[in-house]
Amino acid sequence: MPFTFPDALYPIADAADARDVLALAAAILAGGARFLQLRAKDASTGELLRLARAAKALTDGAGARLIVNDRADVARLVDAAGVHLGQDDLPPAAARAILGPEKVIGFSTHNLDQVDAALHTGAIDYLAFGPIFATASKRNPDPPQGCDAVRIVRPRCALPLVAIGGIDGANLHDVLAAGVDAVAVIGAIASTPDPARATRALLTAVRSAPRPPTARPSSA
């Protein structure tokens, strides 16, 4: 069955942005999120496995799905819903060989050449594109692409498309109007004093956002 996002909000619990990433994940889930990515790029394999197991218990308890950033092996070990890969991670086909056909594989792209190459692999379930705006969530971010670039990507991409990078309550309507299926959010939740409340507010915002018809190619 083709993958779809359960909501147009895709929160990422990033250990770099939280003193306690599991407490952040729990707050995001308490705020109503049903799809959550765990990102801990500086964790050792053992520490990431511990965090992923604990995050899986949290998502299971909330009736949500967990995506592990970067590591298909860890995603398989904890029976996560899937993995999110970057340009320097395992190729999607290799991750698919580890995870099997039923798991979700997302893939990050930062320009049109990367978009076209990713779509050509045929091994991914959703495509991420960004950064849309300037972001502090990556050490060496690619140049901001803006909503105009999203409008170029959308007709090329038959898969669910998620935008990432600098997205918050003030600009998410513009990003959704450009044609994405979901917006990934890190700082607009993690940097607030009440991440659960911020998640609820963002969910309300995405659910009420006008969603114009978008030009999407046939997946056939």
Under 8 Å CB-to-CB from 205, ≥6 apart: which residues?
169, 172, 173
Catalytic residue among 50, 138, 156, 211: 138
Assess whether 219 carries a catalytic annotation. Answer: no
Catalytic residue among 65, 108, 137, 154: 108
The letter for the amino acid at 154 is R
DSSP, residue by residue, 9-31:
EEEEEEGGG-SSHHHHHHHHHHT
- DSSP-H helix ranges across the chain: 21-30, 45-62, 72-77, 92-99, 112-121, 146-153, 172-177, 187-190, 195-208
Catalytic residue among 39, 56, 65, 103: 39
Whether the Cβ atoms of residue 12 and residue 185 lie closer than 8 Å to each other: yes
Assess whether 138 carries a catalytic annotation. Answer: yes
The letter for the amino acid at 202 is L
Whether the Cβ atoms of residue 1 and residue 9 lie closer than 8 Å to each other: no
Under 8 Å CB-to-CB from 120, ≥6 apart: which residues?
none
Cross-strand pairs, 9? 183
Assess whether 39 carries a catalytic annotation. Answer: yes
Under 8 Å CB-to-CB from 92, ≥6 apart: which residues?
85, 105, 107, 118, 121, 123, 124
Indicate which residues carry an active-site annotation.
Answer: 39, 108, 138
